[in-house]
Every structure is written in C-alpha cells, then in structure tokens.
A and B are shown apart, each in its own frame.
Chain A
C-alpha cells in the first residue's frame, strides 16, 4: 500500500540521518582543541609514560583515520594503515556492538552512565512536558474561546511573561521560595532513602521533582498557550465553522468536532520537536537544581573534555529528535488527510 511505502521511505531517511550524525559526531570532537588524555587528570606532574599509557588505554595512540594522525592540530600521517586499526573504524565497530566507549573521567562505560542519567531526565522533563502541554493547550483553548475579552488578554499576557522568563533565573527564584517552604533543593533523593519502603522513596523523589518540574512547566507552557490560541482563533474564523453553525451544531460541538483537530496541526510540530529534546534535558534546570540527568552530565562532561560521554549524549539526542520528527510526520498524516506522504 502507498502509505506503508511512504512510511518506510521516511524511516529510511531517518536512518540515513542518524548515520550522518554518527560520522559528524566523531569528527566534531576530533577537531576540538586540547588533549583529552590530559584533561581527565590535570596534574602537571603526570609522567610522560603515564600519559602515553592513558592514550593507549583510550585508543588515542591510533591515527584518527587513514592519512590523518590527528585533526587538531592537523597532522598528516600514513595512508597505508589498516583502516580497521584507526580510531574512526574502531568507533564505528564499537557502535555496531552497542559500545559507546569508556568515559575518560569516570572510567565507566558511557552506555551505563548515560542509561542511568537518561531515566532521571525522562522522569523530570517528561513530567514537565506533559504538565506544560496539558495546561498550555487548555489555557490556549480557553483564550481562543474567550478571544478579545479581558480573560483572553490576561491569558496571553501571562503566557508571554512566562515564556520570556529566563529559565535559570526562574529556577533560582523558585529555589529561594522552596528553601523557606521545606522543599528539598538539590538532587533526586535524600541520602539514605533507599532503605525506606518503596512508597516513601517515591514520595521523596516527587518532593525533589517539584521545584524543577514547576520551573519547566512555567517556562514552556506559554509557548503552547500562544500557539494553540492563535491557531484556534484562525480556525474559528474559517467558513466551515460558520457552515457547522448554520447546520445547528452547538458551540461545544463545533469546538470539539471541527475546530480542535484542525487547530492542533501547528502544535504537533512544536510538541514533537520539544519531545525530541526531552532527552537532552533542560541543561539550565538540571544545573540549577543539581538534578542528576543527562543535561547535567553534558554540562559536566564539557568541563572535563570527556569526549566519549559527549559523543554518546549527542548521538542519543540526535536519535531522539529524529524519532520524534518521524512520529510527528506520521501524526500529521493522521490528523490532516491533505498532507500527502509522497
């Protein structure tokens, strides 16, 4: 069937994009300045042999790829080396086996570090996303319904303010507020909680999540409100809404059956893109609240020049964004029959 073929084609493009990201990811971190072997241990007394040992351990002694010893500074090398014995192909081979390398800093497999951080991020940002989408869309529908009244102006003004708030600033303000209201200020759980009953552990995590989730929700819901409102106001002025009214549909039926589905289209794109970046986490929020997520992992890895972690995280983010876009395409097709998947 035509649709199946179209989906397969889109999927093939997504895979192709991921391959491109894999290659770009490798070279991006090789052209960055600085010696990663030295970045982990910043001790000037480190002996030459020890540095060499580190380089061997992380495979940094091998040429980057045929003809290039290193890319920063660019050093030409032997073109006749076995390609399988260059950093690039070792990296690719490891990837095919699900190996993302070893963190320079913690010596742990990158996959393990990322997996552990990923779930924390998905928990926090996922909750924030869901809340901001639900509240934002509801507020947008409300504002469009009451369009050009003071309720509408109020909702729009509030959304604009919320959207313009700097994330870190709002986070810090809420930290101050939370500190005097008994909310935990950092991390994901109170130390020692793991010996408590499960229900109590979850309660503890929820209390820790409250402030960062609130920050995320406030900062992102304005975007959803504004897009939903303007899209719905547009749709409500369409002729087929008037037609529906002439046919005798009630205002609620018009909203439910005719307006919302058409007005959701622009929102789907925004939601998809934002969902893709759920994995990237909100670096600012995670940094402010010391939340042990992917965002803070990236933040820390940049400081330590921990390239394998960054490579792995970037790959993960890219894959998440590409998948989210793929899903958005499919949703679009389902929502709007005019969208032809050629």
Chain B
C-alpha cells in the first residue's frame, strides 16, 4: 500500500478552437481540463461532480488514455502512464486494468454483435480467448453485473434489451477483464429514474465483492450520496472542493458546492430549505474568468476574488476547498 493507486497531478487538456482572426498570433484554446489534482486509493469510490461542460468527461478520456494531456501527470500503481502510446498501454496491461462504462448504453454497444460476442470480445483482445475458464468468466461477469441467468442473454442482441439491461451488459464487458479501476461516465443519466438506483447499487456491490476502485462521474450529486467514499466537485476544468462524502454533504465549504447541495431535492416538504440558484451560465471555457474562476456567478464574491486565484486549502485531513473566503 506504500505506492498510491492512482495519482493525478496538475492535469491539463486544452483543445484548439481555431484562431479568433486571421492575424491573431495564437490560436484560442478551450480549457477543458485546467489543472486537476487528486489521488485515489485501491477499491475507493470517488464521485466526480460538476455541470455539463466542466470537463469531467474529458478527464475520464485522459485517464483512459483516449486523449493526450497537454500538461500534468497521471501515475497508476506508481508508474507514470501520462504519455504512453497504445502499444505501451497494452504491454503494461493498462487496457485490462482500467475499464470504462460510457454514458449511453444505446450508443456504446455495437448493434450487430450478440451479447455473448460483446462480453467475450475483451478477452479475445487481451489474448485470453483460450483460457480454460473463459466461458465461466463470461458467465460470472454477466451474473455479477446482474444478468441472471446468463444463458438467457447470450444469444440476444442489444436492441432486444432494455436500457438498464444494456448498461449491465456494458458493465459485464468491463468486469470480464477483472479490472482494478472502472471509470463510469454518467452511467445512469440515460436510464429511467427507477433503474438508476439498481445500477448504482450494482456498482456499490462490485466494489465490495471485487475490490474495484470506481471513478463515478455525474452531474447529479444526489444520486451518489450513499455510495461514494469521497466527492470531488469540478467547476470549469478544475476541482474546487474535494473531501469525504459526509464532510462535503454535511459541511460544504465552497459556495459552488453549497449551491449544488442546496438544489438536491428533499422528499420531505417540511424540511425544505432555501435553494441557492446560481445566476448566469457557465462561462465559456475559452475565456476563463480572472482570479477565482467562479467569481462572476458566486453569490458571496468579494472584490479580491476577481484578482487572485484561490489555492486549494486543507480544512482538515480529508477535506479541501479552493475559496478565498476560507483564508483567514
């Protein structure tokens, strides 16, 4: 346990957005991910929360090695994997150890493959096609993903399954390789509310059964409340608050987190509290606001917020936030 499982330092990804005019010297950049730091322990679940466009999906693609970071580093089990190419990733077994569950189970399954082909393919790719326990592995992955009994589903095609079942197939295809880390990019946002809890429970179960670490990306703080160990709140490409789930939910420090938590629906009407409705839109990630990137929308901003970028402050051992008002 001496070396950290996953360590992300100063990770940045800029996309070129073309030159503003023909004579402009530098092309404009979209600052999709703009300096992200966090660590993850083995079999820990972290929820990555933020509005759409805050860079959480780009972060996932960076961790998967599907995009090349502009700056920063990613270390996995002590090894720097930031700039590995496809072949190197494969030879270090990263494509097996890190699996991804995409947002839309209607789009992320090849319509011409049967469920059996979809779940078996990862084994084939990783040269495990001829292991004697192949069929058992497929069966076990499917049953662990909640497709029981597996035989019923093997011969079917994705279009014959419901959204929840499809997402279970996606999870089964990830599980079959016995990964150590699963990146789940809004895995429930395309599903009916009634099935969301099931899929989240499934991920929570897997983490206990198989000791898999999960990075759970979502825009809905309410949906991960009971299953993540820690929460990281992202705003405009940067983490603004990170801490243990309870700490952050009970005692949020960053005004953005406070606003997000205040709009989680509470079923009991007597407990209704005041909601903080943020003004305006998320700023354009091409022109990041000066100083604290949240200040134009911040309900409690002071003058100096527009001038200096707040550093990450440790509030206690397991809770950090980046806000000038916390500096005493």
Contacts and interface: CB of A to CB of B under 8 A. Distances in A.
Binding between chains A and B: yes
Given A245-B66, A337-B159, A238 B107 contact: yes
A239 interface: yes
Contacts of B102: 239, 242-243
Contacts of A336: 111-112
B108 interface: yes
B66 A262 contact: no
Interface string A301-342: 000000000000000000000000000000000011110000
Nearest to A334: B112
Given A246-B64, A247-B173, A239 B125 contact: no
B178 interface: no
B99 interface: yes
A258 interface: yes
Interface in B41-90: 64, 66, 86, 89-90
B112 A248 contact: no
A244 B108 CA distance: 9
Specify the main secondary structure of chain A where it touches its partner: helix
Nearest to B64: A246
Nearest to A238: B107
A247 B64 contact: no
Contact of B110 (A245, A246, A262, A335): A262
Contacts of A94: none
Contacts of B13: none
B121 interface: yes
Size bin of chain B's contact surface: 20 to 34
A253 interface: yes
Contacts of B104: 239
Contacts of B170: 243
A5 interface: no
B126 interface: yes
A248 B122 contact: yes
Interface in B144-166: 157, 159
A75 interface: no
B100 interface: yes
A72 interface: no
Best-buried of A243, A262, A337 by chain B (most CB within 10 Å): A243
Given A261-B112, A337-B112, A249 B125 contact: yes
Chain A: number of interface residues, binned into ranges: 20 to 34
A294 B281 CA distance: 68
B157 A248 contact: no
Contacts of A249: 121, 125
Nearest to A253: B125
A80 B170 CA distance: 73
Contacts of B121: 244, 247, 249, 257
Interface string A216-253: 00000000000000000000001110111111111001
Interface in B90-139: 90, 95-96, 99-100, 102, 104, 107-112, 114, 121-122, 125-126
Given A246-B100, A249-B125, A240 B110 contact: yes
Contact of A247 (B95, B107, B111, B157): B95
Given A243-B102, A247-B95, A248-B90, A262 B112 contact: yes
B111 A262 contact: yes
B86 A243 contact: no
Contacts of A240: 107-111
Contact of A243 (B108, B111, B157): B108
Nearest to B94: A248
Contacts of B114: 337
A142 B214 CA distance: 39
A44 to B, nearest CB: 67
B93 to A, nearest CB: 9
Nearest to B86: A250
Nearest to B105: A239
Contact of A248 (B107, B108, B109, B126): B126
Contacts of B110: 240, 244, 258, 262
Contacts of B111: 240, 262, 336-338
A338 B109 CA distance: 13
A1 to B, nearest CB: 14
Interface string B153-193: 00001010000000000100100000000000000000000
A248 B95 CA distance: 5
Contacts of B157: 337-338
A253 B86 CA distance: 13
Interface in A249-279: 249-250, 253, 257-258, 261-262
Contacts of A250: 86
Interface of A: 238-240, 242-250, 253, 257-258, 261-262, 335-338
Interface of B: 64, 66, 86, 89-90, 95-96, 99-100, 102, 104, 107-112, 114, 121-122, 125-126, 157, 159, 170, 173
22 contacts: A239-B104, A240-B110, A240-B111, A242-B66, A243-B102, A243-B108, A243-B109, A246-B64, A246-B99, A246-B100, A247-B121, A247-B125, A248-B89, A248-B90, A248-B95, A248-B125, A250-B86, A261-B112, A335-B112, A336-B112, A337-B111, A338-B159
Given A240-B111, A337-B157, 5 more contacts: A243-B102, A248-B90, A248-B95, A336-B112, A337-B112
Q: Nearest 6 CB-CB pairs, A to B?
A: A248-B95, A239-B107, A239-B108, A337-B157, A240-B110, A246-B100
